[in-house]
Structure 1
Amino acid sequence: MRIGVLDIGSNTGHLLVVDAYRGAPPLPAFTYKEPLRLAEHLDAEGAVDSRGVKALVRFVDEARAVAADKGCSEVIAFATSAVRDAVNADAVLAKVESQTGVRLEVLAGDEEARLTFLAVRRWFGWSSGRLGVFDIGGGSLEIATGRDETPDVCTSLPLGAGRLTRDWFPEGVPTDAEYDALRLFVRQQIAGNVGALRRGGDFDHVVATSKTFRSLARLCGAAPSEAGPYARRALRRDLLGAHLDELRTLSVAEIAERPGVSPTRAHQMVAGAVVADALMDLFDLPELEICPWALREGVLIERHDHM
């Protein structure tokens, strides 16, 4: 069965076409994506502006056509933080549906965390024991932990790399004062949740997902994408700290030249690294293993399980 998963994230619109078989992992067949930067298209009142809405409608319509052309029998379409938090979310969703015929489901933050956790559990299996899962998106940070396929505790914090860049680094390269203020804010936000997430016990296996973590791991020496999904990749705290000290002094163009950093995300790498560094420090984690599966795969797995 060929299924399309249409993910409208805070940074990127992404259609993943997969072939799903009972008793087998979903096999990617085609991908179509575009940087929408919806988290940066929120106006002073918190509404998605007209340019953002226009770009979203166009992309969803194009993705719908691509999914049909690739033979998808079903398209699962959802939106995350940027649409979820927009004060005009209902109007945006109605316009997308009226002009494209696609109805986007808005996932709550804890639902994002739960589905991402499911994907990571399926990838690594039961031998991972008590999992801790971290996902830095464009608009939010999701954290989940547990021993089963459903996490015991999950939370979503407004610490997405795109959101923080827009709110704290308006001129691009942060000043020392801007950087220090963001670092303090991020650590206060995360520290308030450490106790609840650790109450069930220490982690047996700690995992990170998302493009931000993958880019940071590659920047710190992890295997490139050409090595395939089964190559072990990890982000080490000591290496991240060293790179963060340098990243905060570079221009966006200079960051974009670094390995693993795409030009469309280079501007938010410093904010993403600040969040990752705070997580690893406050949870006392020397390393995070990178999982190639995340929210899209979690959505697909749950749909496939219910077929």
Structure 2
Amino acid sequence: MRLGVLDVGSNSAQLRVVDLIPDLPPETVRVVKHLVRLAEATDRHGVISQIAVDRLVHAVRQAAAAAQGADAEELIAFATSAIRDAPNGGEIIAEIQAATDVTLRFMDGEVEARLTFLAARGWCGWSAGPLLLADIGGGSMELAYGPGRYPEIALSLPLGAARLTRHHLPHQVPVKKKHRRALHDHVHSVVAHAVTELEKRPRPITAVATSKTFAQLARLCGAPKAKKGLHARRILHRDDLDEYIPELARRTDAERAELRGVKSSRAHQILAGAIVAHATMEVLKLNSLTICPWAIREGVMLHRLENQPVPPEPMASPAKRFVSAVGRSPLRTEPDQHPPRHLQAVPAKGPV
């Protein structure tokens, strides 16, 4: 089947249209990415500005048109913590629905962790053994652990890079050591409290990280460029972060964007991301993390492939149907059961 997956995050809205074939990795047909910059348009109370909402509406409209243009049979559209945690999140969803006929659903944090783990397991395979996953987003950080296809432990913590930049770091540069230490201690405390159950489990054989934040930090610290391909081995070492955190703290956003691997759209929050990564690795006693190129979108694709829903009613548009990720309950982890389907088919309203 040909599937479109639209992921609305704190910085961008990205569509990937892929062909899903059993026993093969998703084959990309088309990628469309729009910067929506929700994080920088969010005030200290979490409210997203109307200017950013307008950007998002445009991005969703363009993504839906691109999915139809690529002959996608379904479109799974979901938002993570950037909209999920916003006080005006419900109003944003309603505005998008009215303007585009696309139903954008919230992805629950625990479900997000489970699906990202599924993607990492799909990439790493069974030889990775018990797997530990970390993913730093704009609003939250997900951690997951387990020996199976789905994790035994899945956590979502309010430790996203954009959120912590907004609430814990001053606007002035350089960012003083006392502010960096205070944020480090905060992250250390939250993670240490959350992973008490994880500490009772066997040590992971493989520890991986997903997300743009981790990927850019790894590149900053010397990992291969993106043009080297998905299979190039990229590792983030905790000791390297010790070196680069003071460097990031000394620089303005524009100066950070001049550093290797740091994109201008994420320069504002990369310092917080680096501190979260370092503190988390410290708590988990990890000297390094291997960067996994598959993340939440690939997890949604794999989950969709193994959980084919009942076909919907006939539609006005003969060749298209659209579905939305709803994540109403945590995915089950029993080895003899598939996780319950979290995709809800809805009729398309016709051409966008």
Q: TM-score, normalised by structure 2?
A: 0.84
Greater shift, 108-117 or 11-20, is seen at: 11-20
The match for 2:153 is 153
- Distance (whole Å) between structure 2 residues aligned to residue 162 and residue 240 of structure 1: 18
The match for 1:269 is 270
The match for 1:185 is 186
User: 2:187–2:280: 8 Å Cα contact kept in structure 1?
Assistant: no
User: 2:44–2:166: 8 Å Cα contact kept in structure 1?
Assistant: no
Offset at residue 44 of structure 1 (A)? 4.6
The match for 2:141 is 141
- Distance (whole Å) between structure 1 residues aligned to residue 274 and residue 156 of structure 2: 18
Offset at residue 42 of structure 1 (A)? 2.8
- Distance (whole Å) between structure 2 residues aligned to residue 285 and residue 183 of structure 1: 16
- Distance (whole Å) between structure 1 residues aligned to residue 219 and residue 251 of structure 2: 18
- Larger fraction in helix: 1
Q: 1:157 to 1:43 in 2, by over 3 A?
A: same
Report SS of the residue matched to 2:39: helix
Deviations 1:75-132 (A, max 9, x none): 1100000111112222211111111000012111101000000000011111111100
- Distance (whole Å) between structure 1 residues aligned to residue 299 and residue 200 of structure 2: 25
- Distance (whole Å) between structure 2 residues aligned to residue 158 and residue 172 of structure 1: 24
- Distance (whole Å) between structure 2 residues aligned to residue 135 and residue 181 of structure 1: 22
The match for 1:101 is 101
Offset at residue 172 of structure 1 (A)? 5.1
User: 2:139–2:159: 8 Å Cα contact kept in structure 1?
Assistant: yes
User: 1:140–1:157: 8 Å Cα contact kept in structure 2?
Assistant: yes
Offset at residue 140 of structure 1 (A)? 0.5
What is the letter of the counterpart of residue 34 of structure 2? E
Report SS of the residue matched to 1:297: helix
Larger radius of gyration: 2
The match for 1:85 is 85
The match for 1:5 is 5
Q: 1:283 to 1:3 in 2, by over 3 A?
A: same
What is the letter of the counterpart of residue 49 of structure 2? D
Q: 1:45 to 1:222 in 2, by over 3 A?
A: closer
- Distance (whole Å) between structure 1 residues aligned to residue 101 and residue 245 of structure 2: 44
Q: 1:247 to 1:157 in 2, by over 3 A?
A: same
User: 2:109–2:142: 8 Å Cα contact kept in structure 1?
Assistant: yes
The match for 1:219 is 220
Q: 1:43 to 1:219 in 2, by over 3 A?
A: closer
Offset at residue 40 of structure 1 (A)? 3.0
User: 1:123–1:291: 8 Å Cα contact kept in structure 2?
Assistant: yes
What is the letter of the counterpart of residue 115 of structure 1? L
Report SS of the residue matched to 1:113: helix
Report SS of the residue matched to 1:52: helix
Q: TM-score, normalised by structure 1?
A: 0.96
Aligned length: 307
Q: 1:103 to 1:290 in 2, by over 3 A?
A: same
User: 1:40–1:163: 8 Å Cα contact kept in structure 2?
Assistant: no
Offset at residue 28 of structure 1 (A)? 1.6
Report SS of the residue matched to 1:149: coil
Greater shift, 5-14 or 34-43, is seen at: 34-43
- Distance (whole Å) between structure 1 residues aligned to residue 220 and residue 48 of structure 2: 32
Query: Matches of residues 1-307 of structure 1 in structure 2 within 5 Å?
Result: 1-171=1-171, 173=173, 174-307=175-308
Greater shift, 36-45 or 242-251, is seen at: 36-45
Show structure 2 runs of 5+ residues with no match: 309-352
- Distance (whole Å) between structure 1 residues aligned to residue 276 and residue 107 of structure 2: 22
User: 2:57–2:96: 8 Å Cα contact kept in structure 1?
Assistant: yes
> Could you tell me the percent identity over the aligned residues?
46
Report SS of the residue matched to 1:248: helix
The match for 2:324 is none
Report SS of the residue matched to 1:40: coil
User: 1:11–1:162: 8 Å Cα contact kept in structure 2?
Assistant: no
User: 1:172–1:267: 8 Å Cα contact kept in structure 2?
Assistant: no
Higher relative contact order (CA 8 A, sep 6+): 2
Greater shift, 153-162 or 82-91, is seen at: 82-91
Offset at residue 39 of structure 1 (A)? 2.7
Offset at residue 2 of structure 1 (A)? 2.0
What is the letter of the counterpart of residue 199 of structure 1? K
Greater shift, 190-199 or 76-85, is seen at: 190-199
User: 1:208–1:290: 8 Å Cα contact kept in structure 2?
Assistant: yes
User: 1:172–1:252: 8 Å Cα contact kept in structure 2?
Assistant: no
User: 1:18–1:26: 8 Å Cα contact kept in structure 2?
Assistant: yes
Report SS of the residue matched to 1:289: strand
